[in-house]
Amino acid sequence: MKGLRHQAPVHSPLSIAALLAGAWSAVSRNGTPGKAAERLSGLLRDRYGAKAVLLTDSGTAALTAALIAILKDRGGKKAAVGLPAYGCYDLATAGDGADAPVLLYDVDPRTLAPDLAQLEATMREGAAAVVVAHFYGCPVDLADINRAAATHGTVVIEDAAQALGGTVRDRPAGSQSSLAVLSFGRGKGLTGGSGGALLAHDRAGERILNIARGLLGDAQRGWPELLAATAQFILERPNVYALPAALPFLHLGESIYRAPRPLRRPTRASCSVVAATWQLAERESEGRQRNAAELLLELRAQPGFETIVTTRHTRPGYLRLPVLVSPIVRRAVEEPAARRLGVIRGYPRVLGDLERFGDRCLNRDAAFPGSRMLAARLCTLPTHGRLTGLDIDRLKRWIREVGGP
């Protein structure tokens, strides 16, 4: 079985009890789904200190609804939104779903934080909202960004889809700005098979959230998502993951642009699954941080790797462990040996280069050197709880073999 062992790049904790709770909600007619949604909303309010919570069927839907609501709040005036030039392609999907012109801003490749000068430039050019993401669980301190946004009348949306377990000044990432977006999809720190949330932290955010609430269609039962979560629970195990990883039509570990879908409330099943895995996700988050700390010691000793720097006021959650690599290591990442260890490259293209999205970007021809460096050189290592001590040792050995002098 040693030769068949194949780690998933990321793992979302699930349990049989959580999947059964989701199935019961999907078939129940006694108010169970509503109670699960209320419970999840309460958990989110308590953790993030949110004034209001809107549950959706995905993090992308939450971000799309927020962007549309911000533009409606401005009287429907056509205004741009600011997005990072490097990031998950679902950011592009949300921009398309909102039918908004987009101003891209660069990302610092050493910190994964926004290039503050370029971000402020998007505000001066009239961006109604800017989205700031905590990539791979590396939190960004938004203090300076919030001050600049207040000056220009721009709404800051904190994309905390990958940030579970991360903190900024001892507060959870996702609690710093007027609005925040969470995702409970496959591969996230907290999963329901699908689902997302929009959090409001002040009066302006509450007003926008209430507009967004009216944009959502009815909930579906969620059987396809529940079946996908069940398959994830079974097939993400290292001794069987080689089977789905070998099927190209599943696109596992790939970055793919997805066209916008109708905005909906969460499925009847997803809230029950998320609520039932809450404590599992807490323990998983602590394990990811421990595994990342051990791998970082090895990465910092090898010249082929450059680790990401986070500020002293932040604590990363490390959904995955991002690192800049040399050209030699970059080629090694494409080899089967690396993929079996769960090592994969980051997002391979900047958003302005996506064929279905680029024309929406008003400044797509700008240089964005930091984002292009990330697209060329950023790779991620797994940190999740299915890594054994032997897996960590194998990762360290790979780091030494490909990253040494």
How high is the pLDDT of residue 1? 41
Range of the domain at 247: 1-405
pLDDT in tens, 194-209: 999 999 999 999 999 9
3: confidence class by pLDDT, cuts 50, 70, 90 = low
**Distance (Å, rounded) from C-alpha 104 to C-alpha 91?**
11
CATH number of the domain encompassing residue 101: 3.40.640.10
pLDDT in tens, 246-271: 777 666 667 788 899 999 999 999 99
185: confidence class by pLDDT, cuts 50, 70, 90 = very high
How high is the pLDDT of residue 29? 79
Domain count, the chain: 1
Q: What is the pTM of this model?
A: 0.96
What whole-number percentage of the chain has pLDDT above 70?
98
Strand order in the sheet with 129-133: 52-56, 196-200, 179-183, 155-159, 129-133, 81-84, 102-105
Q: How far is CA 72 from CA 68, 98, 214, 215, 392, in A?
A: 6, 11, 12, 11, 49
Q: What is the CA radius of gyration of the chain?
A: 20
pLDDT in tens, 329-377: 999 999 999 999 999 999 999 999 998 899 999 999 999 999 999 999 9
Strand order in the sheet with 171-172: 171-172, 167-168, 314-315
**Distance (Å, rounded) from C-alpha 307 to C-alpha 324?**
6
How high is the pLDDT of residue 347? 96
How high is the pLDDT of residue 250? 61
- Which secondary-structure segment (H or E) carries 56? strand 52-56
403: confidence class by pLDDT, cuts 50, 70, 90 = very high
User: What phi and psi, each to the nearest 5 degrees, are found at residue 155?
Assistant: -85, 130
**Paired sense of beta strands 102-105 and 129-133, if any:** unpaired
User: What phi and psi, each to the nearest 5 degrees, are found at residue 237?
Assistant: -70, 135
The mean pLDDT of 218-225, rounded to a whole number, is 93
How high is the pLDDT of residue 252? 67
How high is the pLDDT of residue 256? 84
Which value, to the nearest 10 degrees, does the dihedral of the CA atoms of residues 227, 233, 236, 238 take? -150
> How many helices and strands (H and E) does the chain possess?
15, 14
Q: Are 352 and 375 in contact (CB under 8 A)?
A: no
* Selection from 122, 131, 181 nearest residue 156 by Cα: 131
How high is the pLDDT of residue 251? 66
Instruction: Let me know if 229 is exposed, middle or buried by CB neighbors in 10 A (0-12, 13-18, 19+).
Output: buried
How high is the pLDDT of residue 249? 67
**Distance (Å, rounded) from C-alpha 161 to C-alpha 184?**
8
pLDDT in tens, 87-128: 999 999 999 999 999 999 999 999 999 999 999 999 999 999
